Amino acid sequence: MDIILFEIWNLQHTTYFAGKAKQESGETESVKVYYPYHPLYGRELKVIRRCRRGDKRFYVVSFFDNTNIYLPTWMTDASICQHYVVQKAPYC
């Protein structure tokens, strides 16, 4: 599985947008980062758009300084990220 941990993309030069992320109530969607090794772990971020690149799905989220970044959707899924455990020593 090809994992992209954290990347900042130039949003003006990509064509992979799948539309704006709005809930049925009209409110803007937000997601929480559950992947423990991500620098934004535990933060809740506002979703600007949902997009995909090939078979990979991402959220475009607004960072605290209004920078937009791509966040893989699997990093916001608690059931997937619960298998990543921070340990004192590497598992061999």
The structure's pTM equals: 0.66
Domain boundaries along the sequence of the chain: 1-26
Highest averaged pLDDT of the listed ranges 19-23, 26-30, 44-48, 85-89: 44-48
What is the chain's mean pLDDT, rounded? 76
List the single range of 6-15, 41-50, 51-60 with lowest mean pLDDT. Answer: 6-15
Name the percent of the chain in helix, strand, coil, to the closest 5.
Answer: 10, 35, 55
Sign of the alpha-carbon torsion through 70, 54, 24, 5 = negative
Task: Show the tokens assigned to 22.
Answer: 């709005």
* In the predicted structure, residue 77 carries a pLDDT above the cut 80: yes
List the single range of 20-24, 47-51, 55-59, 71-75 with lowest mean pLDDT. Answer: 20-24
